[in-house]
């Protein structure tokens, strides 16, 4: 028997003591004839303001969330939330939230919305899906998705009979890194990345702009390491916040990082600074690597990168002398140029020859805990045609390739795509070449958006289905693979506002209308979670009270001295030389690729994060908007002087294809190279329903009309666009 939500909230107040104490207090207030005030309730849950998934504790007073704090026992938060995590309240109470289902009554993308009931909206979607199925086949429905809502819609899509889903977090984000580490070490570095930062003696950040990239526990550990005197080496064309903590800031010429990585490997091998015992015991292909990097001397790299050979040698020695307690940060957003996987392979090889994988201060090992997967249903999915990207990018894996969905929609090849679901992703901001996206959606018969806010992508939809926020819903358990294994819960802190519904409910209701009830054999998602907890042998009530349960016995962070450790590669060893890549026709050891550089008067457009925003999704958040209302264009002071530009004045950026940005204020600074312009990603929304974000700042994606595909994994390099500055605003 399931408990009601009201009972549930009572039980899940973080301590039984608080809930019990509230009764006498309310009574005594009543006795005095005053308005009853209930004591606060503290409800633990999991943050979704980004994908670090910190444990949060909500303070709820009279049914209102008044504060969010970090859960002290959760390893991703350690008692603290980042600014965006605190900003969850702003999301919950944003007056611009989607409140009811909407149906577009105009042309595709016209956003002439009328309010609809759930029954009408879901009925319309189901009806159109059936028609598409009859005419084109089930595989013609595709899903672009990000975040926890993905669980339910991938399930729905597969039950319906389509293999076509894709996450922007693969091709446009960490795909290259994951593939490079899988090929080299037989596993990826995890999410959160398993970085032993707190024990590192040297930390190398290649891009990876920690502290602006505000991944909570990683920033905490970075600060701890800096406090303990770690040497920080930053490769970044921009003097990032992290560069401010660095002993060495290497203002590298963009797109040339592979040159420095190969030169470092060269110096470390030729000077015998690598971990010989580790290399002999755990790796394959060292001789081939040593041979291949011989041509990549520091002097050669100096010409490519603008970093002097002297500094390259000096930093290589710092790495070698401090091995194995060296962390070459594997990065996360690694979709930069066309050779992303090979650049990340060089990172992996460097990590291996320094003996840092499975060692203190390097990358720690996966905790040892296996739980049987518990599926949303036991019914098998129907057989369907191969996914669009199958065979095209041999290492792309199961997370799909977003641009393949766009391409197939545009061309009808290998088969037509006639419907898109977009769930938890802003297709106009996440994917490059907005014109392709807009042209592709004109070929569709149906475009459905499941979202909480009317961001740009939602404004293109035929049917908008409002999901409630993470503070108003259950989601699947999160398994946390930190130094030890743990499980984190997401549970509603307050009732869903307006007519919004959890993602699992929307998928289930749609499933029902498509005749797929058997795939959703549970009543509420909490019923499913309780069953799962039972199968896993976890006390659900304890988890709902604490928010997080840890399995300390699962921790095995380091390889012990002399241990016969088997890596999960075909050979059981770290593959410095990759036979797998070779078999698919790619370089088994990374080779340097030259990329175009901007000509006189042009600048490379680069982008990154602001600590108080997440992509586009927080630009309208009332609390976070107050901290940063719009982005600015970073321009080098010498360039500004030459062009007569003053700090704070408005400019417009124009790219190589003549596309113009919104007007944006210029930040005149010494902190960026002269050949780049930097924008924080996510701004410049064109959605009129966003009262705060509408046309605030410039949209980097608007200027990213070109992209470079990495053929190994289908990842999309987005830093291949050049812009010039005009004053015509
Ligand atoms: N506050 C906040 N934090 C976030 C997010 C967020 O939206 N907001 N998003 C999260 C997600 S999903 C991701 S993937 C990560 C992304 O964050 P990271 O993985 O850290 O992203 P990068 O692209 O490595 O870093 C951007 C930096 O790269 C520099 N750069 C640009 N071109 C080059 C180049 O050619 N070489 C080098 N060496 N540097 C270059 C830029 O100047 C900038 O400082 O952030 C995560 N953390
Ligand atoms: N030019 C450029 N492109 C990039 C990047 C960049 O830095 N520059 N970064 C890349 C990276 S690293 C990544 S990971 C991707 C990120 O790509 P996205 O995840 O698509 O990022 P957002 O732009 O924040 O769009 C998120 C959308 O999901 C909605 N949303 C948020 N939470 C929920 C929820 O709980 N439920 C539902 N249903 N909807 C929700 C938001 O309201 C918003 O409309 O973008 C990639 N693309
Ligand atoms: S890093 Fe910040 S936004 Fe991301 S989950 Fe943690 S608290 Fe939330
Ligand atoms: Mo990302």
Per-residue pLDDT tens over the stretch 204-225: 999 999 999 999 999 999 999 9
Q: Label residue 61 by pLDDT band (50, 70, 90).
A: very high
Q: Are strands 463-466 and 446-451 parallel, antiparallel or unpaired?
A: parallel
Q: How far is the CA of 115 from the centre of ligand 2 (A)?
A: 25
Whole-angstrom distance, CA of residue 533 vs CA of residue 223: 36
Q: Are strands 650-655 and 722-726 parallel, antiparallel or unpaired?
A: antiparallel
Q: Are 166 and 144 in contact (CB under 8 A)?
A: yes
Average confidence score pLDDT of the chain: 94
Q: Are 395 and 379 in contact (CB under 8 A)?
A: no
Q: Are 44 and 471 in contact (CB under 8 A)?
A: no
Whole-angstrom distance, CA of residue 573 vs CA of residue 457: 45
How many Cβ atoms are within 10 Å of 321's Cβ, its own excluded?
12
Q: Label residue 37 by pLDDT band (50, 70, 90).
A: low
Residue 251 has, within 13 A of its CA and on its CB side, a CA count of: 12
Whole-angstrom distance, CA of residue 376 vs CA of residue 179: 28
Q: How far is the CA of 704 from the centre of ligand 3 (A)?
A: 27
Whole-angstrom distance, CA of residue 564 vs CA of residue 206: 32
Whole-angstrom distance, CA of residue 142 vs CA of residue 164: 5
Chain segment 304-355, per-residue pLDDT in tens: 999 999 999 999 999 999 999 999 999 999 999 999 999 999 999 999 999 9
Q: Are strands 326-328 and 202-206 parallel, antiparallel or unpaired?
A: parallel
**Mean pLDDT over residues 478-498, rounded?**
97
Strand (E) or helix (H) holding 509: helix 503-513
Whole-angstrom distance, CA of residue 20 vs CA of residue 22: 5
Q: What is the pLDDT of residue 398?
A: 84
Q: How far is CA 265 from the centre of its chain?
A: 29
Chain segment 268-313, per-residue pLDDT in tens: 999 999 999 999 999 999 999 999 999 999 999 999 999 999 999 9
Q: Is the pLDDT of residue 400 over 60?
A: yes
Name the nearest CA neighbour of 581 among 275, 282, 344, 291: 344
Whole-angstrom distance, CA of residue 132 vs CA of residue 160: 12
Q: What is the pLDDT of residue 8?
A: 31
Q: What is the pLDDT of residue 6?
A: 34
- pTM for this prediction: 0.95
Three-state SS letters, 153-206:
HHHHHHHHCCCCEECHHHHHHHHHHHHHHHHHHCCCCCCCCCECHHHCCEEEEE
Adjacency order of strands within the sheet including 41-46: 41-46, 55-61, 64-70
H helices of 247-377, in order, are 257-270, 276-282, 286-292, 298-305, 309-322, 340-353
Q: How far is the CA of 532 from the centre of ligand 4 (A)?
A: 29
Whole-angstrom distance, CA of residue 429 vs CA of residue 422: 12
Q: Is the pLDDT of residue 32 over 80?
A: no
Q: What is the pLDDT of residue 513?
A: 98
Q: How far is the CA of 173 from the centre of ligand 4 (A)?
A: 4
Adjacency order of strands within the sheet including 113-115: 113-115, 102-104, 463-466, 446-451, 419-423, 141-145, 165-166
Whole-angstrom distance, CA of residue 401 vs CA of residue 388: 9
The angle at the Cα of 444, spanning 440 to 448, to the nearest 5 degrees, equals 105
- The DSSP line for 620-670 is T-HHHHHH--S-EEEEEHHHHHHHT--TT-EEEEEETTSPBPPPEEEEEES
Q: Label residue 385 by pLDDT band (50, 70, 90).
A: confident
Chain segment 62-104, per-residue pLDDT in tens: 999 999 999 999 999 999 999 999 999 999 999 999 999 999 9
Q: Is the pLDDT of residue 389 over 90?
A: no
The angle at the Cα of 123, spanning 122 to 128, to the nearest 5 degrees, equals 100
Q: Is 718 in the pocket of ligand 2 (CB under 6 A)?
A: yes
Three-state SS letters, 81-141:
CCHHHHCHHHHHCCCCCCCCCEEECCCCCCCCEEECCHHHHHHHHHHHHHHHHHHHCHHHE
- Residue corresponding to tokens 């190398």: 204
Residues near ion ligand 4 (Cβ under 5 Å): 173, 333
Token reading at 43: 């409800």
Chain segment 105-122, per-residue pLDDT in tens: 999 999 999 999 999 999
Please state which of the ranges 67-81, 364-378, 391-405, 560-574 shows the lowest mean pLDDT. Answer: 391-405
Domain 189-364+564-583 has CATH 3.90.400.10: no
Chain segment 427-451, per-residue pLDDT in tens: 999 999 999 999 999 999 999 999 9
How many Cβ atoms are within 10 Å of 511's Cβ, its own excluded?
22
Pocket of ligand 1 (CB under 6 A): 50-51, 173-174, 206-209, 213-215, 235-238, 240, 252, 254-255, 257, 331-333, 336, 606, 608-609, 611, 613-615, 678, 719
- Which mutation among 72, 85, 615 tests ligand 3's pocket best, with the greatest number of atoms within 8 A of CB? 85
Q: What is the pLDDT of residue 35?
A: 59
The CA distances from residue 241 to 118, 192, 311, 598, in Å, are: 46, 21, 21, 25
Q: Is the pLDDT of residue 573 over 90?
A: yes
Q: Is the pLDDT of residue 17 over 80?
A: no
Whole-angstrom distance, CA of residue 385 vs CA of residue 139: 7
**Mean pLDDT over residues 195-209, rounded?**
98
Q: Are 391 and 383 in contact (CB under 8 A)?
A: no
Q: What is the pLDDT of residue 644?
A: 97
Q: What is the pLDDT of residue 728?
A: 80
- Give CATH for domain 102-167+379-464+502-530: 3.40.50.740
Q: What percent of the residues of the chain are helix, what percent strand, and what percent coil, each to the nearest 5?
A: 35, 20, 45
Whole-angstrom distance, CA of residue 374 vs CA of residue 535: 8
- The DSSP line for 66-83 is EEEEE-TT-TTTTT---H
Q: Are 664 and 632 in contact (CB under 8 A)?
A: yes
Name the nearest CA neighbour of 492 among 16, 42, 43, 18: 43
Q: Is 339 in the pocket of ligand 2 (CB under 6 A)?
A: no
The angle at the Cα of 343, spanning 655 to 176, to the nearest 5 degrees, equals 80
Q: Are 208 and 372 in contact (CB under 8 A)?
A: no
Q: Is 47 in the pocket of ligand 3 (CB under 6 A)?
A: yes
Whole-angstrom distance, CA of residue 17 vs CA of residue 24: 12
Closest ligand 1 atom number to CA of residue 238 = 42
The angle at the Cα of 586, spanning 583 to 588, to the nearest 5 degrees, equals 80
**Mean pLDDT over residues 610-633, rounded?**
98
**Which residue spans within 363-462 are E strands per DSSP?**
419-423, 446-451
Share of the chain above pLDDT 70, in %: 95
Q: Are 288 and 329 in contact (CB under 8 A)?
A: no
User: DSSP 3-state assignment of 479?
Assistant: strand
Q: What is the pLDDT of residue 23?
A: 29
Q: What is the largest CA-CA distance in the chain?
A: 86
Q: Are 473 and 466 in contact (CB under 8 A)?
A: no
- Which mutation among 236, 254, 347, 603 tests ligand 1's pocket best, with the greatest number of atoms within 8 A of CB? 236
- Which mutation among 46, 48, 82 tests ligand 3's pocket best, with the greatest number of atoms within 8 A of CB? 82
- Residue corresponding to tokens 């606060």: 40
DSSP state of 574: E
**Domain map (residue ranges) of the chain:** 102-167+379-464+502-530, 189-364+564-583, 603-726
Name the residue with the closest Cα to ligand 2, atom 5: 430
Q: Is the pLDDT of residue 20 over 50?
A: no
- Which mutation among 75, 84, 88, 191 tests ligand 3's pocket best, with the greatest number of atoms within 8 A of CB? 84
Q: Label residue 140 by pLDDT band (50, 70, 90).
A: very high
Please list, in sequence order, all residues whose beta carbon lies within 8 angstroms of the beta carbon of residue 272, skipping any fewer than 6 positions away.
none
Q: Is the pLDDT of residue 28 over 50?
A: no
At the top level of CATH, the class of 603-726 is mainly beta
Q: Is 216 in the pocket of ligand 3 (CB under 6 A)?
A: yes
- Number of residues written out for the chain: 729
Whole-angstrom distance, CA of residue 612 vs CA of residue 621: 10
């Amino acid at each position: 028997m399931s408990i009601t939500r009201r009972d549930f909230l009572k039980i899940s107040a973080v301590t039984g003591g608080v809930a019990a104490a509230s009764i006498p207090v309310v009574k005594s207030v009543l006795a005095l004839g005053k308005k009853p005030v209930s004591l606060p309730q503290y409800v633990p849950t999991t943050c979704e303001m980004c994908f670090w998934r910190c444990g949060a504790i909500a303070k709820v007073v009279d049914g209102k969330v008044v504060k969010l704090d970090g859960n002290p026992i959760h390893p991703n938060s350690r008692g603290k939330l980042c600014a965006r995590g605190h900003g969850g309240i702003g999301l919950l109470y944003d007056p611009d939230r989607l409140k009811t289902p909407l149906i577009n009554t105009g042309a595709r993308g016209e956003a002439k919305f009328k309010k609809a009931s759930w029954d009408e909206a879901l009925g319309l979607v189901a009806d159109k899906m059936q028609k598409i199925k009859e005419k084109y086949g089930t595989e013609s429905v595709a899903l672009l998705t990000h975040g926890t809502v993905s669980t339910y819609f991938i399930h729905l899509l597969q039950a319906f009979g389509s293999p076509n889903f894709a996450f922007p977090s693969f091709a446009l984000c960490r795909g290259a890194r994951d593939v490079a580490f899988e090929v080299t070490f037989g596993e990826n570095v995890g999410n959160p990345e398993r970085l032993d930062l707190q024990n590192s003696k040297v930390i190398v950040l290649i891009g990876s702009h920690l502290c602006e990239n505000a991944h909570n526990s990683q920033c905490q550990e970075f600060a701890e390491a800096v406090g303990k005197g770690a040497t920080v080496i930053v490769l970044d064309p921009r003097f990032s916040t992290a560069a401010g903590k660095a002993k060495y800031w290497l203002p590298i010429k963009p797109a040339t990082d592979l040159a420095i990585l190969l030169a470092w490997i060269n110096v470390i091998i030729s000077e015998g600074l690598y971990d010989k015992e580790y290399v002999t015991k755990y790796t394959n292909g060292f001789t081939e690597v040593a041979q291949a990097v011989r041509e990549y001397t520091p002097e050669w790299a100096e010409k490519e990168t603008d970093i002097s050979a002297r500094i390259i040698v000096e930093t290589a020695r710092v790495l070698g002398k401090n091995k194995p307690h060296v962390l070459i940060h594997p990065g996360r957003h690694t979709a930069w140029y066309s050779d992303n996987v090979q650049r990340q392979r060089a990172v992996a090889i460097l990590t291996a020859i320094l003996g840092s994988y499975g060692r203190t201060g390097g990358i720690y090992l996966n905790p040892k805990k296996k739980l049987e997967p518990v599926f949303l249903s036991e019914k098998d999915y129907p057989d369907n045609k191969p996914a669009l990207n199958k065979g095209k990018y041999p290492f792309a894996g199961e997370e799909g390739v977003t641009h393949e969905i766009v391409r197939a929609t545009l061309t009808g090849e290998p088969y037509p795509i006639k419907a898109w679901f977009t769930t938890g992703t802003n297709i106009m901001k996440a994917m490059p070449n907005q014109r392709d996206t807009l042209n592709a959606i004109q070929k569709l018969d149906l475009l459905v958006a499941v979202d909480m806010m009317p961001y740009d992508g939602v404004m293109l939809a035929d049917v908008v289905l409002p999901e409630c926020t993470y503070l108003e819903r259950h989601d699947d358990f999160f398994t946390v693979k930190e130094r030890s294994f743990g499980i984190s819960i997401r549970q509603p802190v307050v009732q869903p506002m307006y007519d919004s519904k959890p993602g699992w409910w929307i998928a289930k209701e749609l499933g029902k209308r498509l005749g797929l009830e058997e795939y959703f054999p549970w009543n509420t998602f909490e019923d499913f979670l309780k069953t799962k907890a039972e199968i896993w042998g976890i006390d659900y009530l304890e988890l709902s009270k604490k928010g997080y349960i840890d399995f300390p016995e699962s921790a095995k962070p380091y390889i012990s001295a002399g241990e016969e450790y088997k890596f999960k590669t075909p050979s059981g060893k770290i593959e410095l030389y990759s036979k797998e890549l070779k078999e698919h026709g790619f370089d088994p050891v990374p080779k340097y690729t030259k990329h175009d550089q901007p000509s006189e008067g042009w600048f490379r457009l680069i982008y990154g994060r602001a600590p108080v925003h997440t992509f586009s999704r927080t630009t309208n958040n009332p609390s976070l908007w107050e901290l940063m209302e719009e982005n600015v264009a970073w321009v080098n002071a010498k360039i500004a002087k030459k062009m007569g530009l003053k700090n704070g004045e408005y400019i417009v950026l124009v790219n190589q294809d003549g596309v113009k940005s919104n007007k944006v204020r210029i930040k005149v600074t010494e902190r960026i190279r002269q050949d780049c312009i930097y924008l924080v990603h996510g701004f410049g929304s064109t959605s009129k329903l966003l009262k705060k974000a509408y046309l605030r700042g410039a949209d980097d994606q608007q200027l990213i009309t070109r992209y470079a595909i990495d053929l190994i994994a289908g990842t999309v390099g987005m830093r291949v666009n050049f812009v010039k500055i005009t004053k015509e605003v």
